[in-house]
Structure 1
Amino acid sequence: MKSNTQESDPLTMLDAPTPPQSLARASQNVKQYVQDLATWHEYEKAGKEAEHAAIVERMNGVYKEQEEEFNLFKLQRPMLGEIARERNAENEELKLENEKLREENRKLEEDKAALLNMCDDLVAKLEECGYKFEES
């Protein structure tokens, strides 16, 4: 299991693998379990007690590892839900702030256009009075 040390994001502080990682590992473990089960039956029929016991021990170890990982995920799930709710609330606040900024930007663009029109009108009136301007 990887552990990130980024303090700013609570999700990175969790040590449990993400569900897709767990599912992929669980799938691999199931495949291994099926192979072990077939081998286990062969050893049992052949009377190979030591090999039989080794496979049983390994199968139990894999099962316990998966069980511990699942229990850890169950414990962290409520915390993940709370983090998701907090992020959703933050996103809503950011959407509102973004909308306000867009409205403010729209008003500033309107003001800019009005000022440019006023400048054009002023230049036109000054030219009518005989002033000459060079375009730059």
Structure 2
Amino acid sequence: MKVVKLDDIIGSDQHIDGGNWESRRLILKKDGMGYSVHDTVIKAGTETHIWYKNHLESVYCIEGEGEVETVKDGKIWPIKANELYALDEHDEHYLRANKGVDMRMVCVFNPAITGREVHDEDGAYKLVDDE
């Protein structure tokens, strides 16, 4: 059994500031669950290009609202609290948080990340070896 407290993650090496977003990484590859879980804040009024070529991601919005625009078709998906979107095709997309309020998301990645990843020039996380 493992219990993780967000307060213990904030300010630690598992709290990553990505500029437009902050990722508080709760469960990582080293935890052996086969996936990772992140509490992520998307800052109000920002747009972030993301393309997880190496990972699948499910995102559950628990606060705020914004939108996801999928690059392949230009479709815009409004997102608000209590809604989940799944990037089940490694979808290249733009994530935008509406002005005035941050979005807070619970993100699940498969495969699990190690915790050291940041977005590369394509908006992806590279696969990182634990060694």
More helix by share: 1
The verdict on a shared fold, with TM-score over 0.5 as the criterion, is no
- Structure index of larger Rg: 1
Structure 2 length-normalised TM: 0.18
More strand by share: 2
Relative CO higher for 1 or 2, CA cutoff 8 Å, sep ≥ 6? 2
Structure 1 length-normalised TM: 0.18
